[in-house]
């Protein structure tokens, strides 16, 4: 192991020992990297503030609930409280989630101070408190928190989405075999690794890893929910940056087998057993949120993986996006896209 990797290993070990969850570790991930070409300042803020509520929060909750529904139904009830109210947007949900239970509008602001500090609000604490108590939806969500006690809140819509996905995945002839008894499947697998000439830190949360001892292969599976039809996924694959996720996860698992990545889901005994296994190109299970619409599997070839790295005329490859991250990290210039700094304040149209 190189010195940089040894430092990363110790950093991850310390954070996991301190009880920090995956979302709290300030490393670059696929959902952040997809914005680097247009909004590097936002990407930097997102990496530096991993606790901030993001677009992927619902994905984590639904993915975790789906995992428990399939693998450990009893854990679902122990982990989640199913809410009858909607989760507030922005920082308000984070603020409410951090509040002590059973507060009222008459309590002094000192009771709200810690939640305010943790939430990341910039406005005055009195304004945040007023926003909480004057909006019925916020009050209702806080009351749900009191009912939930120490459980995480899963909205009714998120719960129904997980149920629809579970039913379809377990019954669809294209997907059900992946959940059959006897299959060696790991769910919700966190993984941490380094990339680039400057060894910057990355992280990913893999939905599923299927270990096939007979074929000596490891298959990465990502579950995506889609509004209506799974046939729409091909456009979403590029538009939503799923291709970035596919390449990074594939690279990370190969690094794990090479001893250059960390995942608490893998014991040293398991890693020793699979060290020579082949990591297959990722597979996407696309599940419509509408009950009755069928799930489909989308696969990638080795040639596809090369294209994901290099890019095409229709999208910038992962290699190009990572070079942008390295540029901004090295120069510490984050306000504008890289082209602005390389072209005297202008962005060439190149029509």
Which two tokens mark 145? 């928190």
Number of alpha helices (DSSP H) and beta strands (DSSP E) in the chain: 16, 10
Instruction: Say if CB 174 and CB 297 are below 8 A apart.
Output: yes
* Separation of alpha carbons 312 and 317, rounded Å: 7
- pLDDT, residue 55, reads 44
pLDDT, one tens digit per residue, over 20-52 is: 677 778 889 998 899 999 999 999 988 887 766
Q: Percent of the chain at pLDDT above 90?
A: 46
Mean pLDDT value across residues 210-220:
93
What would the mean pLDDT of 284-310 be, rounded to a whole number? Answer: 91
pLDDT at 272 over 70: yes
Give 4's pLDDT tier (boundaries 50, 70, 90). Answer: low
DSSP state at residue 265: T
**pLDDT exceeds 70 at position 145:** yes
Tell whether the model's pLDDT for residue 210 goes beyond 80: yes
Question: Residue 157 has what pLDDT?
Answer: 85
- Give per-residue pLDDT as tens, 83-121: 888 888 888 988 998 899 889 999 999 999 999 998 889
The CA distance from 53 to 48, in Å, is: 13
Report the Cα–Cα distance between both ends of the chain, in Å, rounded: 46
Average pLDDT over residues 56-82: 80
The pLDDT of residue 343 is 93
The pLDDT value recorded for residue 1 is: 46
Query: What is the secondary structure of 146-195 as a DSSP string?
Result: HHHTTSEEEEHHHHHHHHHHHHHHHH-TTTGGGGSTT-EEEEEEEEEEEE
Give the pLDDT score at 54: 53
Half-sphere exposure of 321 (CA within 13 A, CB side): 28
């Amino acid at each position: 192991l190189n010195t940089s990797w040894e430092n990363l290993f110790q950093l991850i070990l310390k954070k996991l020992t301190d009880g920090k969850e995956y979302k709290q570790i300030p490393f670059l991930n696929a959902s952040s990297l997809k914005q680097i070409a247009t909004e590097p300042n936002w990407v930097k803020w997102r990496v530096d503030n991993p606790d901030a509520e993001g677009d992927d929060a619902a994905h984590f909750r639904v993915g975790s609930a789906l995992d428990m529904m399939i693998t450990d139904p009893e854990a679902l009830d122990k982990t989640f409280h199913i809410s009858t109210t909607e989760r507030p947007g922005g920082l308000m949900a984070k603020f409410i989630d951090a509040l002590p239970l059973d507060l009222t509008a008459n309590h002094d602001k000192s009771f709200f101070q810690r939640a305010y500090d943790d939430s990341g609000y910039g406005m005055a604490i009195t304004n945040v408190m007023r926003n909480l108590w004057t909006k019925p939806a916020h009050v209702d969500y806080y009351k749900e928190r009191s009912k939930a006690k120490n459980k995480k809140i899963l909205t009714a819509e998120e719960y129904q989405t997980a149920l629809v996905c579970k039913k379809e995945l377990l019954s669809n002839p294209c997907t059900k075999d992946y959940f059959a008894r006897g299959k060696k499947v790991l769910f919700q697998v966190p993984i941490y690794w380094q990339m680039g000439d400057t060894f910057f830190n990355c992280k990913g949360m893999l939905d599923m890893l299927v270990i096939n001892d007979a074929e000596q292969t490891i298959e990465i599976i990502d579950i995506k929910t889609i509004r209506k039809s799974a046939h729409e996924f091909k456009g979403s694959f590029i538009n939503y940056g799923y291709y970035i996720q596919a390449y990074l996860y594939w690279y990370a698992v190969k690094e794990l087998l090479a001893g250059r990545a960390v995942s608490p889901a893998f014991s040293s005994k398991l890693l020793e057993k699979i060290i020579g296994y082949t990591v297959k190109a990722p597979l996407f299970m696309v599940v419509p949120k509408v009950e009755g619409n069928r799930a489909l599997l989308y696969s990638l070839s080795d040639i596809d993986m090369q294209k994901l790295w290099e890019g095409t005329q229709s999208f910038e490859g992962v290699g190009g996006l990572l070079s942008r991250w390295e540029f901004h990290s090295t120069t510490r210039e984050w306000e504008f896209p890289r082209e602005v700094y390389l072209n005297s304040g202008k962005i060439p149209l190149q029509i």
